Amino acid sequence: MSVDTLPTTSTNTEHLPQVTEPRNTGMPLDLNWVLSAQANTSAIERRAASLPARRSVKKIYQAAWLLKAVTCIDLTTLSGDDTARRVGRLSAKARQPIAASTLDALGMPPITTGAVCVYHEMIAPAVHALQGSGIPVAAVSTGFPAGLSPLPLRIAEIEQSVAAGAAEIDIVISRRHVLEGNWQALYDEMRAFRAACGDAHVKAILATGELGSLRNVARASLVCMMAGADFIKTSTGKESVNATLPVSLVMIRAIRDYYDRTGYRVGYKPAGGISKAKDAITYLALIKEELGDRWLQPDLFRFGASSLLNDIERQLEHHVSGAYSASYRHPTS
C-alpha cells in the first residue's frame, strides 16, 4: 500500500544549515532570581491538561512528528542484568531504529536515535558498537539513582565515565539541598560536576517527583542552569512519579527565562513513563509552543526512554500498511 511522502517540514534536515550553539558556561548564583521563582500550580495544571486535546495531528503529519521523536530518543538500558551483548543489540537498534522498508514507503532517508544511555560499566561496549555512527554514548553517574554516595566518589565516577568514552553524563542532584533550600550547596555541587565533565555535556537530573513542589522544581532548574548544566532532566526513571506535563511546563519556562537573560540555550529531557507515541507528540508540541522550533533538535531535546520506540514503530507501520503489528516484532534489545 503506497502512502504520501512526508511534508518537507519533517525530520529530514540534511539540507538545512547546521546550527551550532555556544555551550552554557553558567553564571554566578543569583539568589534574588532563584527565590523570586514561583509556580501557580492550578494554572500550570490547567495549561498542561489542555494540551493533548488541542494538539492532535493525524495521518502523514503524525508520521512526521513521530519520526522527529525518534531522532530525539536517548535509547536507554539501565538494568542490573545488562550485558555487553544486550548493549550491542540496543546500539544496533539506535543505528537503525525504524525499518528501512517503512522509511522507504515514507520517502525518508535513514535516521538514528539521539543517543544510547547506559551505566558506566556498559560504556565501552556501547562506544564499540556505535563506532562510526555519530551517535553519542550517555552514561548515568554520580551515584545514580539516589545520588547519596560521597561527593569525591561521584566526581571520580564522572571522570572515569568521560575517560571511558561517554560524550554525555547524566548526573543526579542531591535532593536534600532543594528540600532544605540550600541553593548555594546545590550550585557548588553542580559546578563541581560540570567541571568534572570537561568537554562532555552534562544533563542534570532533578528527580522532580522527590522535590516536593513545582516551585522547588522551578528554583532547582534555575540553579542547575546557573551552574552550567547543558540539559535539565526530569527524572531518573526510578522514582514513583517521573516526567509529567506540569513539571515539564515549569522546567521549560525556566529554560526560556534563562535564555532570555543569558542568551544560552539549555536542553530539556523528560524521562520515565513516556512509552506511547501519542504522548511523545504531546511533549514535542509543548516544546514547540513554549520554546520554538530550535528546541526540537536532538542537541536541545531528548526523551529518556526504552519502550517508546517500540510503540512509535508500530504506529508508523500502521500508517504505511494499515495494520498493527505485534509489539514483539519491534524489540529494542
Q: Packing angle between helix 277-290 and helix 245-262, nearest 10 degrees?
A: 30
Residues in the chain, overall count: 333
15 assigned to some structural domain: no
Does some domain include residue 218? yes
DSSP per position, 266-290: -EEE-BSS--SHHHHHHHHHHHHHH
Of 68, 74, 170, 311, catalytic: 170
* Residue 318 counted as domain residue: yes
Q: Is residue 290, in this structure, part of any structural domain at all?
A: yes
Residue from 210, 237, 205, 240 nearest 306 by CA: 237
Of the candidates 319, 275, 241, which has an alpha carbon nearest to the alpha carbon of residue 73? 275
288 among known catalytic residues: no
Q: Which DSSP letter does residue 108 get? A: -
170 is catalytic: yes
Nearest-10 crossing angle of helices 308-321, 277-290? 100
Instruction: Give CA–CA dist 161/179, Å, rounded.
Output: 29
Cα(20)–Cα(23) distance, integer angstroms:
9
pLDDT per position in the chain (333 positions), as tens? 334 445 443 444 333 334 568 999 999 999 999 999 999 999 999 999 988 876 678 889 999 999 999 999 999 999 999 999 999 999 999 999 999 999 999 999 999 999 999 999 999 999 999 999 999 999 999 999 999 999 999 999 999 999 999 999 999 999 999 999 999 999 999 999 999 999 999 999 999 999 999 999 999 999 999 999 999 999 999 998 999 999 999 999 999 999 999 999 999 999 998 999 999 999 999 999 999 999 999 999 999 988 999 999 999 999 998 877 766 666 665
User: Does 317 map to a domain?
Assistant: yes
What is the CA angle 105-300-235, rounded to 5? 100
Number of folded domains in the chain? Answer: 1
In a domain, 18, yes or no: no
* Residue 324, φ and ψ in degrees, nearest 5: -85, 135
Parent domain of 251: 31-329
Domain assignment of residue 17, yes or no:
no
Instruction: Write the CA distances from 301 to 57, 78, 86, 284, 304, integer angstroms.
Output: 20, 20, 25, 9, 10
* Residue 8 is assigned to a structural domain of this protein: no
User: In the annotation, is 30 catalytic?
Assistant: no
- Annotated active-site residue in 68, 93, 203, 269: 269
- CATH number of the domain residue 174 falls in: 3.20.20.70
Query: In this structure, which amino acid lies at residue 15?
Result: H
pTM of the full predicted structure? 0.92
- Catalytic residue, chosen from 93, 233, 279, 299, is 233
CB atoms within 10 A of CB 86: 17
